[in-house]
Structure formats: structure tokens, C-alpha cells
């Protein structure tokens, strides 16, 4: 898959992308589409003839902070966007993870890659996913046609919402050449409440209680003891963390209310804004699993029962999204991991050490195949990337 | 506005079609007598009417599946319908179609508080979802003004918004899953109680697809704990510019209010005459700002917003001091449409979204157009997210006024697109804005969307005549355009 002999093309305009894709279609060649290439090892890829990198599609086209919109080319580095919007007191509210260290990757993630993988961080529970902040795009379909969808305003229902389709399509439908995102004001301050020594099931109860009250929790994670040992916590037991963000008066009031509601769960500590930031960056990047070679999974599960997933699968797990996301290191066979997730009404994405996706089946699988064919009937783009194990 | 030419042969088969549908939905599930079909002739866009062949009102997913399978096999067009409150003609029947009404799908199936979701049938009203969870302190966030009547299934089809979507998102941001019946009769489940779905996000695609991709028979929505407090402010301004600038200042200050609405003077007067809640009738523009959260936060932000408004010349300033007063502040805004209905026999409600900064310019141009067309206009506006609702006043009984109103509306929407906005922020394209789609999308853009339609409904039988100005046959769209001949960029490295 990572055959270095394959030529890497780095187009600088949408027209160049169109020419490359159209010609590939006409000559029965296949293209791997990459941004920074940091998530390249996720999933499998059939052999390709060309690598198309969006790295030189790297211009910031329009940033209108007052309109809450940002239009960029997909090759702009995530870190650069974060810096740009932070300078105006704004943020990408879905808190995209970089995962570079976790995946042992080199290079820098791009915004196109983040959208292609629909990756969201801890604030997912409150602010939504990458797909919820994706307002419009231009791109080149697998047919080699330039097209666009959506708009450059925050509220729009004109035509099909193809942004949702592109988010999480892993580059299998189109090569994006321009994307418009919704940005939001960054919170003025934050704090994190910590609970200690809770078993996974109790932690799930605490997180549910916090999420179901009027506290506007913007991060709810549970780290078992092995993961809570790292800085900045250096705890010797499991830690359950609940983040509150907003203006000072609001955060203080909600912290008091939440602490009162959680009285039955034992001692409560709080993290100041600086340590809170550092802590959630670790959760977002799954730092506790960096350097561990075991197969790595993201289990998406109904939050209240999320803890049950890893309990059916020997290995180590961390919980984010109030229990709705379990990051799991396990040697169990992929079929078993998927079966456990499915039995709870969820699903599993393998980040390393196995096929990333489940195979498509039944009428829904056939429908997904028809959607793929609508954009890329010849299978030019990222062949096999979203296919499951045979 | 032209609909696809009806197929006379199909209409002639009415007897056979009604018999077949009656076999699938026995009892009173099929409506076919001409008088009984009248209530289904139109939706919230009452300027257009059309009697369908028949209306079928199934009660189970299995019946929906069988109806669609039979209609596909027999080439019968199907128009899905919820409560029929669409403002864009999304549920307008065709002469040679069967209307599939979901009104009997009206049960709340499950409330799962630990996972913060509710599973409901599509005929449950928007407010019905909130009613089902309110006793435990929860609510469903999207709140279109028609929420007493409109159904959740229709909300999914239209990706409905409301005054609170600035902070809480549209329908698409508050959905977790659905059961969808395809035109083939196949039943698929999209999403679920997990936050992210697996594979392509077909749930996101189907939301807002205006009943063209499938019929939703079950909906799973996210429910939220109610904010501790909510306060509303009324801010009156002598100039539209002052109000518009205040909106920009509020956002720039990092405040995202739960609701941020603007009304112009004609809308203020109409609403005040209708509900009498103390709106400043001499103001050029009124802002309604709602702030929610803990009391301490509301108090701080209210002060902040008041200072910003005063700096922009607000000369009327009132903050709600009770829940009753907050609701009264909203009563005028939520009744703006019926209020305008009292000052003119008919009105069209436009729905374009613009970059907020262009508001003064766009309102000025709308006023000019109003004079040119000789038709009044009142503006209500989801100011926070730039979603305009100009209400064009006309009298359908005066020959030529409907056509003039349509042309005026089209000019407003073209103006929205020209300043960088879009045709519709929350009401949908339907039949109303269908022929304006080329203002935003070129033929290739539209072909890409229509191929998605073909992946779901290759016979183009589901809700035809909506959204797309020209319907191409799927076989024609499916041809692969092969790019041959001269290379466009000879300097580019080749493979």
C-alpha cells in the first residue's frame, strides 16, 4: 500500500485535480488521495497507480469571524487553522484530534483529512461532530467532474446535504478542493471536576448524571488507573473527569451545581484552566495508548452502556464522550470486537492492526455501494479504503 | 410554476390503484372520494393546489413497505406527507400521484434518559416530543414556529430549524437515527444510539432530502436537559443598521444567544396589533435576544448585551423578569406569520440566508423592490444565523398579484445568492424555489445531487417535481463522462 515507487502528484488548483482524476478514469488507473498522510495506515487500500496529495491546496480563502465561517483549501494544516481562529478568540468546536502520536505517524494532519475521517474530540458530546460544522465544499468526484454543494453561511438547506456524505467518506467519493466550516467563539475559561477510584460502571453512572443535568458538560471521560497515572493527573487510581466551559460566572455556578449533584461519588477535585486544557488534550489524543503496539480500536457505543463493550473484550480501555466512545487496545479477533460492539447497538473502527471497517451487508450495504457508485462508478478514488475484511 | 405533465393513463387507473392500496391498508386507510381529498390538495404553501389520485394512510412500516413496492412495480408516483405544514410545497400532490400520509404513525415508542434519546414515530408533532420528556426536565431543541402542528417526520424531511437553532442546531444536528423505507420497499435503519454512525452518513444525507429519497417510519432524536433559566431582551432601534450592527457585536463578543431575532417596522406593527405584548411600534427594528443557562451566566450576559445595544443607539430596552414575560416577548415573534395574515389576504414567506454583514444592504434593496412591484413586505429574520423571512403581501383575488409576488420573491432570493447567501435556510426548496436552483448550482452540481436520488429511487417515483428544476433519467445521468483528447495541464507530472 505504501509503495514509495508510486508517483505522488501535488496539484495546486481544482482544475489540476480534475485533470488528474478524469485522466485516471479514462485510463483505468486508481488514485490514493491523501492530505498530510497521518491517517494513511488506517484501513486497507487496494493497489493504486497514483497518489494525489492535497498538500499544495493549502490556501486560506476567506475567514469571516463575525459570520462564524471559514473557507479554506483542504490541504491547510489543522494546526494552522487552530492558530488562525484562536487569534480571533474562536475555535473549531468539534475539537478535532490530531492522533499523530497515537498512530505513530509523521507529518501534519490537514483539515481535509479531519473531515474525510469525520474525527471529533471530547467536545463531541456538546458541540457535535466534524460533520455538524461542515457547511459547504467544492470537489472533484470520481467521475472527474468539478462540483460543489452547500454554501458559505451557517444555515442552509438548499439541495442535498452532501457535506454529511463527504464527512467520514475517507476520500472515496470525491477529492475536496475547498471546504467551508462553521467556527464558534472559544470559551473564556474552563474547569474540570475529577472523581476518583470509580469502577467503570459507577463512572458511567456519574457521567450520565452529569450529562442529564443543566450543567452543559463539554467533556466527560473516564480513565482507569493505568491511564490516570500520567501527568498532569499523576493519580494512583481511576479518574472520571467532567469539563465545564464558558464565562467565569457561569463556570463557577455550574461547577458548584455539578459538585452538589455528584456528592454520592466521593471526593471531588478540580483542575484549573491550564491543567484542564492539558488534561483534555491528552484525552483527545489518547496519550495513554501512545507507543503500545497492540491492535487499536474506537468503539462507538450508546453512552450509558459503553463500559460494557470493553468488559466483554480483554484489553485496556479509556472512555470519552460520556461513555459513548471507548478507545480499546485488545488482541481479540476483529470479528469478536465488532460482534461485541454490535450486540450493544454500536460499531467499531479499527485504527491499527486490522481491517478498519465492517463489510457492508444487506439492503443498507447495497445502498451504500450505490451511493459510492453515484460519485465514483469506476472505483478510481481510494479503492477498497472503506471496504471491510473479506 | 409548472409540475411534470401528469400521466393520463395512470389517472385512468384510479379504480385499480385504490383497490390495490385498500388491500394493503384495509378499513379506512385509503381516501379516494373527491370531497375527502380536498384537505390533501395543498400544504403550508397554499398558493398551489392539486388533487391526487388517492391518499393512503398506513399504520405500520410493513404497510409502508408494501405500498411503496406496489407503487414502484406499477409506476405510480408517491408524495409523502406529514402534517402538511411545508412552506415550500414539499407535500404538494401531483395529479397522477398517491399521497402517503404518516398521520397514523403518532406514538412515542421509547424514551431512553440514560442515553438522552427518544424514539418516536414520524407523525408525532415536534412539540409532542418535548411533551413526552418534559416531566423529567428534558426537551427537544429544534423549534420551528409551526411546532404545535408540524411532525417530526416532516422535520427530518425538511431539516427544520427554528428560533433556537443558532445555539442548538437544526434537525440534522439533533437526530441520532431513523428507519427508512426505500421506494423498492426495502427497509433500512440509519444511525442509532451511538454518537457517530458507521459507513457513509446516510442519516445526514436523508435529513433535508425533502421526501425524495425514502419514507421515514421511525425517528430517534437527541433530547437535552432544559437550561436552568432563560431570559429574553427586547431591544428597539431607530435604524435597521443599528440593530444589524448590534447582532454582529454580540457574536463578535463571543456570545451565542439561544435565540437572536429581528423584526422590521411593518412586522413589529403587525405582531403588536395581533398579540399586544408591548413591542415598540415606532422602532425601525426590534431585536429579541434570548440567553439561557445558569442564572449567573444569564445575568452577566444580559448586562453585556444591553451595553452593546446601547452603544449602537438602542432606545427601547426591556428584559424579561418572569417566565410569563419571556414567553410574551416571543409570542409576537412566533405569531408574526398569522399577524401578517391579518393585514394582507395572502403572503409568501421567503427563506434565504445571507452573510449577516450584508443585512442593511439587502433590506434596503428589498424595500426598493417592494416599491417597484407595488407589493408590501414585512421582514422577520433569524438574525443570529442570517436567515431572512421577508413576507411578501399580496391578494390572490386581484389578477396578476400572485405572479408579481412570485417574481418579487424570486428577485429577493437571487439577491440573497448574489451577496454570498443561499436560497433556503430552513423551509426547503420544494416546488417554490425549485426553478431557482440554477442560481446556486450549475448543471454538474445538480447532476451530482440527482445521482444520489437515483441511488435511492432509480425510477424517480418519490415526490417528483420537487427540488430539481429538470429531471434527467437515471440512465442518462449514470453515463460516465470520459475525459479524452488534449491534456488540460501538459506541464503537470503524469503517471
Instruction: Give the span between the Cα atoms of A54 and B395, in whole angstroms.
Output: 55
Residue A331: exposed, middle, or buried by beta-carbon count in 10 A (0-12, 13-18, 19+)? exposed
Nearest to B424 among A50, A158, A188 (CB): A158
Rounded average pLDDT over B481-492: 47
Task: Report how far Cα A74 is from the mean position of its chain's Cα atoms.
Answer: 16
Contact B56, B100 (CB under 8 A): yes
Give chain A's count of helices (H) and strands (E): 12, 18
Does A324 contact B382 at a Cβ distance shorter than 8 Å? no
Q: Identify the CA nearest to B144 among candidates B165, B128, B166.
A: B165
- What backbone torsions phi and psi does residue B485 show, to the nearest 5 degrees? 80, -150
Nearest to A184 among B256, B387, B428 (CB): B256
Does A24 contact B480 at a Cβ distance shorter than 8 Å? no
Residues 6+ apart with CB under 8 A from B389: B336, B349, B350, B351, B379, B380, B381, B382
Residues of chain A contacting residue B173, judged by C-beta atoms under 8 Å apart = 128, 132
pLDDT of residue B85 exceeding 70: yes
Instruction: Give the span between the Cα atoms of A122 and A246, in whole angstroms.
Output: 16
Average pLDDT, chain A: 95
Q: Which residue has the cell 486497507?
A: A44
Rounded average pLDDT over A200-205: 97
Mutate which of A29, A153, A213 to disrupt the B interface (most B C-beta within 10 Å)? A153
Does B189 contact A364 at a Cβ distance shorter than 8 Å? yes
Half-sphere exposure of residue B76: CA atoms within 13 angstroms, side-chain side? 30
Residue B3: which pLDDT band, with cuts at 50, 70 and 90?
A: confident
Instruction: Give the span between the Cα atoms of A338 and A361, in whole angstroms.
Output: 14
pLDDT of residue B286 exceeding 60: yes
Interface of A with B in 324-353 (CB under 8 A): 324-325, 345-347, 349
Residue pLDDT, tens place only, A253-282: 999 999 999 999 999 999 999 999 999 999
Cell numbers representing residue A100 in the block: 499523530
Instruction: Give the span between the Cα atoms of B57 and B123, in whole angstroms.
Output: 11
Instruction: Give the span between the Cα atoms of B274 and B336, in whole angstroms.
Output: 8
Average pLDDT, chain B: 93
Neighbours of A286 (CB within 10 A): 22
Residues of chain B contacting residue A213, judged by C-beta atoms under 8 Å apart = 225
Instruction: Give the span between the Cα atoms of B314 and B418, in whole angstroms.
Output: 30
Residues of chain B contacting residue A146, judged by C-beta atoms under 8 Å apart = 444
State residue B491's pLDDT score. Answer: 52
Shortest CA gap A283–chain B (Å):
17
Residues 6+ apart with CB under 8 A from B137: A214, B225, B226
Angle at which helices B265-275 and B323-334 cross, to 10°: 120
Query: Left if phi > 0, otherwise alpha if psi is -120 to 50, otherwise beta: which for B417?
Result: alpha
pLDDT of residue A3 exceeding 60: no
Residues of chain A contacting residue B494, judged by C-beta atoms under 8 Å apart = 23
State residue B494's pLDDT score. Answer: 43
Rounded average pLDDT over B103-114: 98
Residue B480: exposed, middle, or buried by beta-carbon count in 10 A (0-12, 13-18, 19+)? middle
Rounded average pLDDT over B12-33: 96
pLDDT of residue A340 exceeding 80: yes
Task: Report how far Cα A365 is from the mean position of its chain's Cα atoms.
Answer: 23
Residue A4: which pLDDT band, with cuts at 50, 70 and 90?
A: low
Residue B419: which pLDDT band, with cuts at 50, 70 and 90?
A: very high
Does A165 contact B228 at a Cβ distance shorter than 8 Å? no
pLDDT of residue B485 exceeding 50: no
Q: Identify the CA nearest to B447 among candidates A311, A350, A375.
A: A375
Instruction: Give the span between the Cα atoms of B365 and B359, in whole angstroms.
Output: 10
- In chain B, how long is the greatest CA-to-CA distance? 72
Cell numbers representing residue B87 in the block: 412552506
Residue B119: which pLDDT band, with cuts at 50, 70 and 90?
A: very high
| Residue B488: closest C-alpha in chain A | A19
Chain B contact present for A266, CB below 8 A = no
Residue A177: which pLDDT band, with cuts at 50, 70 and 90?
A: very high
Residue A256: which H helix or E strand, with range? helix A248-261
Does B194 contact A125 at a Cβ distance shorter than 8 Å? no
State residue B470's pLDDT score. Answer: 84
Residues 6+ apart with CB under 8 A from A374: B448, B451, B452, B454, B455
Residue pLDDT, tens place only, B183-200: 999 999 999 999 998 999
Distance set, CA B28 to CA A54, B22, B32, B105, B133 (Å): 59, 8, 10, 15, 32
Residue A92: which pLDDT band, with cuts at 50, 70 and 90?
A: very high
Shortest CA gap A14–chain B (Å):
12
| Residue B246: closest C-alpha in chain A | A66
Contact B48, B89 (CB under 8 A): yes
Residue pLDDT, tens place only, B134-163: 999 999 999 998 899 999 999 999 999 988
Task: Report how far Cα B139 is from the mean position of its chain's Cα atoms.
Answer: 20
Q: Range with the lowest mean pLDDT among A41-45, B9-13, B283-287?
A: A41-45
Instruction: Give the span between the Cα atoms of B150 and B143, in whole angstroms.
Output: 10
Domain parsing of chain A, residue ranges: 1-186+357-377+384-390, 187-353
Instruction: Give the span between the Cα atoms of A279 and A285, in whole angstroms.
Output: 10
Instruction: Give the span between the Cα atoms of B262 and A83, in whole angstroms.
Output: 33
Does A186 contact B254 at a Cβ distance shorter than 8 Å? yes
Rounded average pLDDT over B291-308: 94
Mutate which of A158, A162, A251, A323 to disrupt the B interface (most B C-beta within 10 Å)? A158
Shortest CA gap B394–chain A (Å):
26
Neighbours of B360 (CB within 10 A): 16
Instruction: Give the span between the Cα atoms of A95 and A101, in whole angstroms.
Output: 17
Chain B contact present for A142, CB below 8 A = no
Angle at which helices B295-311 and A248-261 cross, to 10°: 170
Shortest CA gap B486–chain A (Å):
10
Instruction: Give the span between the Cα atoms of B240 and B233, in whole angstroms.
Output: 17
Is the dihedral angle over the CA atoms B404, B405, B410, B415 positive or is it negative? positive
State residue A372's pLDDT score. Answer: 97
Residues of chain A contacting residue B110, judged by C-beta atoms under 8 Å apart = none
Rounded average pLDDT over A219-245: 93
Shortest CA gap B237–chain A (Å):
21
Distance set, CA A373 to CA A377, B324, B455 (Å): 4, 55, 8
Contact B150, B82 (CB under 8 A): yes
Shortest CA gap A304–chain B (Å):
6
pLDDT of residue A389 exceeding 50: yes
Does A159 contact B467 at a Cβ distance shorter than 8 Å? yes
Nearest to A153 among B173, B421, B488 (CB): B421
- What backbone torsions phi and psi does residue B64 show, to the nearest 5 degrees? -60, -45
Does B200 contact A165 at a Cβ distance shorter than 8 Å? yes
Give domain A187-353's CATH architecture: 3-Layer(aba) Sandwich (3.40)
Does A300 contact B198 at a Cβ distance shorter than 8 Å? yes
Give domain A1-186+357-377+384-390's CATH architecture: 2-Layer Sandwich (3.30)
Interface of A with B in 157-196 (CB under 8 A): 157-165, 167-169, 173, 184-186, 188
| Residue B416: closest C-alpha in chain A | A153
Does B357 contact A64 at a Cβ distance shorter than 8 Å? yes
Q: Which three-class secondary structure string do you get for chain B?
A: CCCCCCCHHHHHCHHHHHHHHHHHCCCCCEECCHHHHHHHCCCCCCCCCCCCCEEECCCCHHHHHHHHHHHHHCCCEEEEECCCCCCCCCCCCCCCEEEEECCCCCCEEEEECCCCEEEECCCCEHHHHHHHHHHHCEECCCCCCCCCCCEHHHHHHHCCCCCCHHHHCCHHHHEEEEEEECCCCCEEEEECCCCCCCCCCHHHHHCCCCCCCCEEEEEEEECEECCCEEEEEEEEECCHHHHHHHHHHHHHCCCCCCEEEEEEHHHHHHHHHHHCCCCCCCCCEEEEEEEEECHHHHHHHHHHHHHHHHHCCEEEEEECCCHHHHHHHHHHHHCHHHHHHHHCCEEEECCCECCHHHHHHHHHHHHHHHHHHCCCEEEEEEHHHCEEEEEEEECCCCCCHHHHHHHHHHHHHHHHHHCCCECCCCCCCCCCCHHHHHHHCCHHHHHHHHHHHHHHCCCCCECCCCCCCCCCCHHHHHCCCCCCCCCCCCCCCCC
Does A324 contact B195 at a Cβ distance shorter than 8 Å? yes
Mutate which of B65, B163, B178, B196 to disrupt the A interface (most A C-beta within 10 Å)? B196
Is the dihedral angle over the CA atoms B195, B197, B201, B202 positive or is it negative? negative
Q: Is the pTM of this model over 0.90?
A: yes
SS3 call for A231: coil
Residue B89: which pLDDT band, with cuts at 50, 70 and 90?
A: very high
Residues of chain B contacting residue A7, judged by C-beta atoms under 8 Å apart = 493, 495
Residues of chain B contacting residue A67, judged by C-beta atoms under 8 Å apart = 355-357, 386
Partners of A320 in the β-ladder? A325
Is the dihedral angle over the CA atoms B247, B249, B252, B253 positive or is it negative? negative
Rounded average pLDDT over B383-407: 94
Instruction: Give the span between the Cα atoms of B247 and B242, in whole angstroms.
Output: 9
Cell numbers representing residue A194 in the block: 475529577
State residue B162's pLDDT score. Answer: 87
Does B296 contact A9 at a Cβ distance shorter than 8 Å? no
Does A373 contact B480 at a Cβ distance shorter than 8 Å? no
Chain B contact present for A249, CB below 8 A = yes
Mutate which of B194, B291, B417, B438 to disrupt the A interface (most A C-beta within 10 Å)? B194
H runs (alpha helix) in A170-218: 200-211
Mutate which of A150, A159, A378 to disrupt the B interface (most B C-beta within 10 Å)? A159
Residue A82: exposed, middle, or buried by beta-carbon count in 10 A (0-12, 13-18, 19+)? middle
Shortest CA gap B229–chain A (Å):
9
Amino acid at each position: 500500500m505504501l509503495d514509495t515507487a508510486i508517483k505522488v502528484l501535488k496539484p495546486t488548483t481544482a482544475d489540476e485535480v480534475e485533470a488528474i482524476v478524469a485522466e485516471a478514469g479514462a485510463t483505468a488507473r486508481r488514485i490514493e488521495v491523501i492530505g498530510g498522510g497521518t491517517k494513511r495506515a488506517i484501513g486497507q487500500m487496494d493497489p493504486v497507480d497514483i497518489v494525489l496529495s492535497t498538500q499544495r491546496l493549502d490556501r486560506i480563502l476567506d475567514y469571516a469571524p463575525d459570520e462564524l465561517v471559514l473557507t479554506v483549501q483542504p490541504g491547510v494544516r489543522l494546526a494552522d487553522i487552530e492558530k488562525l481562529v484562536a487569534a480571533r478568540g474562536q475555535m473549531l468546536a468539534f475539537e478535532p484530534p490530531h492522533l499523530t502520536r497515537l498512530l505513530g505517524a509523521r507529518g501534519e494532519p490537514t483539515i481535509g483529512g479531519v473531515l474525510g475521517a469525520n474525527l471529533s474530540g471530547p467536545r463531541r458530546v456538546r458541540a457535535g461532530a466534524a460533520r455538524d460544522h461542515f457547511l459547504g465544499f467544492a470537489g472533484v468526484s470520481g467521475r472527474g467532474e468539478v462540483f460543489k454543494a452547500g454554501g458559505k453561511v451557517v444555515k442552509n438547506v438548499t439541495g442535498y446535504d452532501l457535506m454529511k456524505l463527504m464527512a467520514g467518506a475517507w476520500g472515496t467519493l470525491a477529492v475536496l478542493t475547498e471546504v467551508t466550516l462553521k467556527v464558534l467563539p472559544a470559551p473564556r475559561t474552563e474547569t474540570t471536576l475529577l472523581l476518583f477510584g470509580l469502577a467503570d460502571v459507577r463512572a458511567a453512572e456519574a457521567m450520565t448524571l452529569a450529562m442529564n443535568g443543566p450543567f452543559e458538560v463539554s467533556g466527560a471521560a473516564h480513565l482507569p488507573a493505568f491511564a490516570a497515572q500520567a501527568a498532569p493527573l499523576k493519580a494512583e487510581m481511576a479518574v472520571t473527569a467532567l469539563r465545564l466551559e464558558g464565562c467565569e460566572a457561569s463556570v463557577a455556578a455550574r461547577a458548584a451545581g455539578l459538585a452538589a449533584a455528584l456528592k454520592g461519588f466521593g471526593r471531588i477535585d478540580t483542575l484549573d484552566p491550564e491543567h484542564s486544557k492539558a488534561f483534555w488534550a491528552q484525552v483527545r489524543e489518547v496519550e495513554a495508548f501512545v507507543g503500545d503496539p497492540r491492535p487499536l480500536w474506537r468503539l462507538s457505543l450508546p453512552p450509558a452502556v459503553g463500559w460494557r463493550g470493553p468488559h466483554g473484550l480483554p484489553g485496556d480501555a479509556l472512555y470519552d464522550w460520556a461513555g459513548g466512545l471507548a478507545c480499546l487496545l485488545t488482541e481479540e479477533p476483529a470479528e469478536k470486537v465488532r460482534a461485541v460492539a454490535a450486540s450493544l447497538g454500536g460499531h467499531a473502527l479499527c485504527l491499527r492492526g486490522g481491517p478498519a471497517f465492517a463489510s457492508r451487508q444487506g439492503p443498507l450495504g447495497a445502498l451504500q455501494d450505490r451511493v459510492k457508485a453515484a460519485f465514483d462508478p469506476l472505483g478510481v478514488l481510494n479503492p477498497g479504503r472503506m471496504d471491510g475484511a473479506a | 410554476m409548472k409540475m411534470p405533465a401528469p400521466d393520463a393513463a395512470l389517472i385512468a387507473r384510479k379504480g385499480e390503484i385504490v383497490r390495490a392500496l385498500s388491500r394493503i391498508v384495509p378499513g379506512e386507510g385509503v381516501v379516494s372520494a373527491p370531497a375527502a381529498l380536498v384537505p390533501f390538495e395543498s400544504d403550508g404553501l397554499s398558493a398551489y393546489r392539486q388533487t391526487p389520485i388517492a391518499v393512503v394512510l398506513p399504520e405500520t412500516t410493513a404497510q409502508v413497505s408494501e405500498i411503496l413496492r406496489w407503487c414502484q412495480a406499477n409506476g405510480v408516483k408517491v408524495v409523502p406527507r406529514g402534517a402538511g405544514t411545508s412552506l415550500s410545497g414539499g407535500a404538494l400532490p401531483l395529479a397522477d400521484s398517491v399521497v402517503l400520509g404518516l398521520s397514523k404513525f403518532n406514538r412515542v415508542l421509547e424514551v431512553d434518559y440514560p442515553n438522552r434519546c427518544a424514539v418516536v414515530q414520524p407523525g408525532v408533532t415536534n412539540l409532542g416530543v418535548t411533551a413526552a420528556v418534559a416531566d423529567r426536565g428534558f426537551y427537544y431543541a429544534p423549534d420551528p414556529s409551526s411546532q404545535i402542528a408540524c411532525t417530526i417526520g416532516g422535520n427530518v424531511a425538511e431539516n427544520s430549524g427554528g428560533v433556537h437553532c443558532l445555539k442548538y442546531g437544526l434537525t440534522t444536528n439533533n437526530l441520532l437515527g431513523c428507519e427508512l423505507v426505500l421506494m423498492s420497499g426495502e427497509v433500512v435503519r440509519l444511525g442509532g444510539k451511538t454518537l457517530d454512525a458507521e459507513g457513509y452518513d446516510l442519516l445526514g444525507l436523508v435529513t433535508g432530502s425533502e421526501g425524495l429519497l425514502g419514507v421515514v417510519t421511525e425517528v430517534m432524536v437527541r433530547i437535552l436537559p432544559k437550561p436552568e433559566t432563560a431570559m429574553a431582551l427586547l431591544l428597539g432601534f431607530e435604524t435597521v443598521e443599528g440593530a444589524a450592527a448590534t447582532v454582529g457585536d454580540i457574536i463578535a463578543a463571543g456570545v451565542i444567544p439561544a435565540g437572536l431575532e429581528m423584526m422590521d417596522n411593518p412586522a413589529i406593527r403587525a405582531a403588536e396589533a395581533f398579540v399586544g405584548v408591548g413591542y415598540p411600534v415606532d422602532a425601525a427594528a426590534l431585536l429579541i435576544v434570548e440567553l439561557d443557562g445558569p442564572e449567573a451566566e444569564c445575568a452577566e450576559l444580559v448586562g453585556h448585551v444591553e451595553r452593546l445595544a446601547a452603544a449602537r443607539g438602542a432606545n427601547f430596552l426591556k428584559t424579561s423578569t418572569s417566565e410569563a414575560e419571556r414567553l410574551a416577548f416571543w409570542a409576537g415573534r412566533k405569531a408574526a406569520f398569522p399577524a401578517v395574515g391579518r393585514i394582507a389576504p395572502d403572503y409568501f414567506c421567503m427563506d434565504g440566508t445571507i452573510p449577516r454583514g450584508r443585512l442593511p444592504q439587502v433590506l434596503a434593496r428589498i424595500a426598493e423592490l417592494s416599491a417597484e412591484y407595488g407589493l408590501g413586505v414585512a421582514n422577520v429574520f433569524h438574525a443570529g444565523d442570517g436567515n431572512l423571512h421577508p413576507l411578501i403581501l399580496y391578494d390572490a383575488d386581484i389578477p396578476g398579484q400572485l405572479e408579481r409576488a412570485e417574481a418579487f420573491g424570486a428577485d429577493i432570493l437571487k439577491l440573497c445568492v448574489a451577496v454570498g447567501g443561499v436560497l433556503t435556510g430552513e423551509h426547503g426548496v420544494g416546488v417554490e424555489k425549485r426553478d431557482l436552483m440554477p442560481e446556486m448550482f450549475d448543471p454538474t452540481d445538480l447532476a451530482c445531487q440527482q445521482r444520489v436520488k437515483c441511488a435511492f429511487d432509480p425510477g424517480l417515483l418519490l415526490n417528483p417535481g420537487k427540488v430539481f428544476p429538470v429531471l434527467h433519467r437515471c440512465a442518462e445521468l449514470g453515463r460516465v463522462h470520459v475525459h479524452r483528447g488534449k491534456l488540460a495541464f501538459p506541464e503537470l507530472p503524469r503517471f
